Structure 1
Amino acid sequence: MAGIASLVFLDSLRFKFTNAPETQTIFGKLNDWAASFGADGLFAQTGLFSQYVIGTAELFASALLLIGIHPAFRRLQAVGALIAFAVMSGAVNFHLWTPLGIDPNNDGGGLFFMAVVVWFTSFGLILIRRKELAAIFAGLKATLFPARS
């Protein structure tokens, strides 16, 4: 599952990081939609959710997912799965609930389908790595809120 999600993410980076026409179309539609709510620039090239920010999150998630294949680094895979799930939750919702639609590039919905595949695989990894995630969150809780004596 980690390999599938990483493969999809890493393949998409060539579009995001080269400012390909397909990427311009997608993020342009999203930015126009955001502008209608007064958030112009949110998805622009220098925006908070630009293709470069999203691509960097996908690259980081891919690295964690792949490194986590090694048994000694399972916790990293759990974190990578959370990042992938968050990014793909956004992608799937933007495809469904904005003017972007499920076929923004006239590819028969292929891009949307791949987002759903990554969403499900990352969710599956979260379920598989739930013990690792529980340990991570327990460690964070102990660090941020130490027990008082």
Structure 2
Amino acid sequence: MKKYLPHGLAIYIAFVFIQSLFFKFSGSEETVIIFASIGRWLAGLPVLHLLAEPFMLYGPWLIGSVELVASVLILWPRKRLSGALLGAAVMSGAIFFHLATPLGVNRVVDAAGNTDGGLLFIMACSVWLSCVVLIYLNRAGLGLHDSKRFPTL
């Protein structure tokens, strides 16, 4: 299991990130709704209101690019820890926005008001958890060799 689990998790994470790139890079209705919702929330906050419009316009490209880099790194065994750290960071942001903004867990996906039933949030959580497991499995790369604090599986 130790031999195959890291590869399986890496493939799963990369698959989720890469399949979402079409939506982010094509300006799909779903993506526009997501980033506009977060942008409107940012617009109502002191100081962060300055980021609202750039986030709505360029956020999908920025986040998609980071996910693409994370995918490449996570599929490269020698760079897997870096990819997992980057993936966990991006998914931490996604989970935060789902929970702390009007985007919500059960988000709207089209102009008709249809929702995804929480699927995007569940995917974000599962990718985050997969990244955390990969970080744990590759913790030696962090210099955390104390087996008392970080027992092996």
TM-score when normalising by structure 2: 0.79
Alignment of 1:117-132 (within 5 A): 117-132=126-141
CA contact (8 A) 1:89 1:119 kept: yes
Q: State yes or no: 1:45 paired with 2:48.
A: no
% same residue: 41
The structure 1 segments of at least 4 consecutive aligned residues displaced by more than 2 Å after TM superposition are: none
- Paired residue secondary structure (1:41): helix
Segments of 5+ residues of structure 1 without an aligned counterpart are 136-149
- Paired residue secondary structure (2:55): coil
How many Å separate the matches in 2 of 1:2 and 1:82?
A: 12
Query: Aligned match of 1:58 in 58, 62, 67?
Result: 67
- Paired residue secondary structure (2:104): coil
Segments of 5+ residues of structure 2 without an aligned counterpart are 1-8, 110-114, 145-153
Alignment of 1:16-95 (within 5 A): 16-37=24-45, 38-39=49-50, 40-46=52-58, 50-68=59-77, 73=78, 76-95=79-98
CA contact (8 A) 2:32 2:56 kept: no
How many Å separate the matches in 1 of 2:53 and 2:126?
A: 29
Which amino acid in structure 1 is aligned with residue 37 of structure 2? K
How many Å separate the matches in 1 of 2:54 and 2:139?
A: 33
Match of 1:7 in 2: 15
TM-score when normalising by structure 1: 0.81
Per-residue deviation, 1:134: 2.2
